[in-house]
Amino acid sequence: MMTRELSILFVEGDLDASVAIRLATECDFIVGVAIVAGSNQKFLAGLSKYRAAAAHVGKVFALGDAEIENCAVTLLETHLPRRARSMVARLAVPMVEAWLLADHEGIGSWLGIHVAKVRDAAVAIKHPKDAIVSLAAAARRADLREGLRPRPGVRARVGAEYAPLMSDFVRSRWDPARAAPRSPSLAKAIQRLEELRDL
């Protein structure tokens, strides 16, 4: 299949960028520039700007998080009431960590834990980021145990190396095709990217 150019990736955060690049590559795109908004609020506010840009610069893929309390469809309708044919805008439900956890085998292999523990954590813990941090406590590798989890006494949800370590997982072990059947929002994102590719 011929590789096609994706001119702009507009994403919420650094981990979203790694996920978006991986998905674009899996869908046979060559990625141009990646722009990181830095927060959910800035991402949503910037969607209309990149919709307008899509008409001039080429194909655009925008990826952010729906967040736990929000509805992806409502958020997109509110912040992107007009769509562009050459732009795909998707919100991971509830966040990209859920897409990563959906690859039970990949996370289990990477952390060195049994796949059943990953499956149980993905179901039992409502916040995907908390599930990953919890699973990291049993990781075989010390750098994963220490980097993914916050240090004792530090008021943080994740460890200092969380984003780069998770990005490494996305690049090296995550299998979107394996994860998609367990994540409807991921499956839809892949479908829309394939449609964009074939325009």
Domain 4-96+177-197 belongs to what topology? Dna Topoisomerase Vi A Subunit; Chain: A, domain 2 (3.40.1360)
10-residue mean pLDDT profile of the chain (199 residues): values are 81 97 95 95 96 90 85 86 91 94 97 94 84 96 96 91 98 97 96 93
At residue 185, the pLDDT reads: 94
At residue 108, the pLDDT reads: 97
Give the C-alpha separation, 51 to 128, whole Å: 29
At residue 126, the pLDDT reads: 79
At residue 64, the pLDDT reads: 96
At residue 2, the pLDDT reads: 54
At residue 70, the pLDDT reads: 67
3-state SS class at 105: helix
Residues 14-24 as b or e (16 or more Cβ within 10 Å = b): bbbbbbbbbbb
**Of residues 69, 75, 112, 96, the one with CA closest to residue 185:** 96
At residue 145, the pLDDT reads: 96
Domain ranges of the chain: 4-96+177-197, 104-173
- Which regions of the chain does DSSP assign to beta strands (E)? 4-11, 29-36, 60-65, 87-92
How many residues are present in the chain?
199
- What are the percentages of helix, strand and coil residues in the chain, rounded to 5? 55, 15, 30
At residue 57, the pLDDT reads: 87
